[in-house]
Amino acid sequence: MEPTNHPITAKAHTNIALVKYWGKKDEQLIIPQNSSLSLTLDEFYTETSVAFDDTLTTDTVQFDDHLLSAQASQKITTFLDVVRELAGITTRANVITHNHVPTAAGLASSASGFAALAGAASRAAGLTLNRRDLSRLARRGSGSATRSIYGGFAAWQMGEDDQTSYAYPIAEQVDWDIVAIALVLTTAQKKVSSRDGMRLAVNTSPFYPTWVQSSQADFKTIETAIASRDFETLGHTSEQNAMRMHALTLSSDPSFSYFNADSLKAMALIRELRAAGTACYFTMDAGPNIKILCQGQDAPTVMSQFQQVFGPESVVLTRPGNGIQISD
């Protein structure tokens, strides 16, 4: 393969997992213990440009206008090594990335980040990958990135190996009135990374095998709910799946939690709204920030409640987003 002689730019959006990925069968290849399902969001995204350059002796990475040290960019270099191996090149790369997501605060910035990097780096290296192969490549950087290749509802088939573990679209054009409201309760770095948290849960939680089993059932339930546009079933099952995932953190040894006081306050408020007749449900990943699923008609009511409690700057409305876009 011959690398392009100019930068390639890719834009990829974050996703929220409605059926969570939590635990790996293979740490190296990032093969998950269960299949997962997500909704890509339009408001949060990463834009990344990559150029391979014969004059470089090391990869250089600019992250939000800051040049990263070799240590800080190690994960990106490791990923670029996978791309180089695929393309049969050894050329170093210049990477410029801008993240429009609070990093490492439970808003899945690694998903948009590695999806965008996969798209830009593979094309810049001279590869022309179809979306399935692009999702397989993105998975090598971050498991959830495999789903950010697609818009709307997407699933990640767990598979058994590198060839069979990939994402696929379920409904890229979401033609029913579903929205997500992100509550950004903190932008602080989380104390336990997803990677460490997963490993601890798999190795020490006595409930882990049951989690895998129940997630498989949740996957089928939500897939059916999407097909029939059944918002209540989708919302209820997503919330249950999230809480069961977080039960794994509490039952690990040592136990830990991604909740903070505001997370618990927000959950209680969502339950109150629901009891009062507003159909809204929450989900949360490995961090204290909460995503509320509701229908567009109820969004003003839900947003108003949370703006009063947490301030307007903490409440962000987002709709279903598009899949990856790659441009020269």
Model confidence at 269: pLDDT above 70: yes
Q: Is residue 2 part of a domain?
A: no
Mean pLDDT of 188-212: 93
- Rounded to an integer, what distance in angstroms lies between the CA atom of residue 23 and that of residue 26? 9
- My answer on whether 118 and 199 are in the same domain is no
The residue assigned the tokens 């109150």 is 272
Structure-token pair, residue 13? 């959006």
Question: CA nearest 48: which of 70, 64, 59?
Answer: 64
The distance of Cα 313 from the centroid of its chain, to the nearest Å, equals: 22
Q: Is residue 143 part of a domain?
A: yes
Half-sphere exposure for 239 (CA within 13 Å, toward CB): 19
Mean pLDDT of 284-292: 93
Question: CA nearest 121: which of 136, 139, 132, 134?
Answer: 134
Output the pTM of the full model: 0.95
Identify whether the C-beta of residue 143 lies closer than 8 Å to the C-beta of residue 21. yes
- My answer on whether 147 and 166 are in the same domain is yes
Model confidence at 106: pLDDT above 60: no
Model confidence at 253: pLDDT above 70: yes
Question: CA nearest 26: which of 167, 143, 194?
Answer: 143
- My answer on whether 18 and 147 are in the same domain is yes
pLDDT, one tens digit per residue, over 208-219 is 999 999 999 999
Question: CA nearest 285: which of 111, 134, 100?
Answer: 111
Domain with 76 in it: 8-173+322-327
pLDDT of residue 108: 55
- My answer on whether 159 and 188 are in the same domain is no
Half-sphere exposure for 198 (CA within 13 Å, toward CB): 21
Confidence of residue 1 (pLDDT cuts 50, 70, 90): confident
Domain count, the chain: 2
- My answer on whether 110 and 159 are in the same domain is yes
Instruction: Give residues with Cβ within 8 angstroms of 121, minimum separation 6.
Output: 8, 50, 79, 80, 83, 93, 95
User: What CATH number is associated with residue 142?
Assistant: 3.30.230.10
Instruction: Give residues with Cβ within 8 angstroms of 156, minimum separation 6.
Output: 21, 32, 35, 36, 37, 38, 135, 139, 143, 144, 146, 147, 165, 166, 167
- My answer on whether 204 and 258 are in the same domain is yes
Identify whether the C-beta of residue 67 lies closer than 8 Å to the C-beta of residue 190. no
- My answer on whether 183 and 305 are in the same domain is yes
Q: Which of 42-51, 100-109, 244-253 has the lowest mean pLDDT?
A: 100-109
Instruction: Report the amino acid identity of residue 319.
Output: R
